[in-house]
Amino acid sequence: MEASPTSQQMKQALLDTFKFTKQFLAQHGLRYVACGGTVLGAVRHQGFIPWDDDIDIYMPRADYNRLLSMNEQLHPLGYEVLSCHDKGYYMPFAKISSLHSTIWEFQRLPFLMGVYVDIFPLDEFNESDDIITARQYKSHYYFDKYINAVSSYPFSHLLRSITRFDIHQMGLYILNLYRKRHPQRYLQAFLDFEQTYTGGTGDKCVCVTQWEGRIFQTEWFTDVIELPFEDTTVTVPRNYDAYLRKLYGDYMTLPPEDKRISHPHYFVDLHRRYTIPEIKGRFEN
């Protein structure tokens, strides 16, 4: 096996994907605004959070839905848009992904993508916070069933959980045996539920599949500014202080060192797209 890419190499590849994403969205009149750690990185570090390795953006639901149908425009440019409509994809949000790199994130989830930008749909509501939060919990309930259905747990997983008397992991294995026969059923339940809350307007907004109970003001994502981000810029809420305090509290204080962690990756190659059999062969060699 070749050495995994360094953190700096990974961030440069991610930055390249983000620059392409910004340009593509602008060319097609699609709106976006950064969210989560990307806003925090722009404000506190003028770029990536040093130990982080992803970029997250929101798109209004209408623009998001348009993007999902644009693979014909993306593929000739070396990119693709991935969503839960792609067989085996295991996230309730989309990604713009490079076709010329490979990431296999979790061994139990056999789905390959390239270096990507996470893209979350943003929906507006005029409901109470309790009702919106209940929608978030219910959305996770539906999609978690689908994730379990498309996971691939080896028999050794069951043996290990029995040895450790890990009831939770034993339950996941048994549920997986049942659910993996009909993953589309669980995905459709999630998509049907999604239709019950999209298309509305209101002064509150959330990505329903994100942080439960963290409900934002719609105006935070319509009144936006550009901030420096590495050697480019990123669109963020003008009132980023209110947004970041809602998410993180005292966001300018660095977290303890044991909380400064990056995302796990089972396999990464920044230069070509592999197949799963090819990756397994590299591990065997």
131 HSE (CA, 13 A, CB side): 9
139-172 per-position pLDDT tens digit? 999 999 999 999 988 777 667 888 888 888 888 8
Angle among Cα 280, 77, 55 to the nearest 5 degrees reads 70
- Give the span between the Cα atoms of 63 and 264, in whole angstroms: 30
Q: Name which of 73-77, 126-130, 211-215 the model is least confident about.
A: 211-215
pLDDT (0 to 100) of residue 262: 84
Q: Of 201, 224, 248, nearest to 58 (Cα)?
A: 224
180-239 per-position pLDDT tens digit? 889 999 999 999 999 999 999 999 999 999 989 999 999 999 999 999 999 999 999 999
The amino acid at residue 145 is K
Say whether 234 sits in a helix, a strand or coil: strand
- Domain positions in the chain: 7-284
25-67 per-position pLDDT tens digit? 999 999 999 999 999 999 999 999 999 989 999 999 999 999 9
Q: Which residues contact 235 (CB under 8 A, 6 or more apart)?
A: 32, 33, 34, 224, 225, 226
Reported as type and span, the H/E element at residue 33 is strand 33-34
- Give the span between the Cα atoms of 60 and 33, in whole angstroms: 9
Residue 203 per-residue DSSP state: S
Angle among Cα 201, 207, 208 to the nearest 5 degrees reads 95
pLDDT (0 to 100) of residue 62: 97
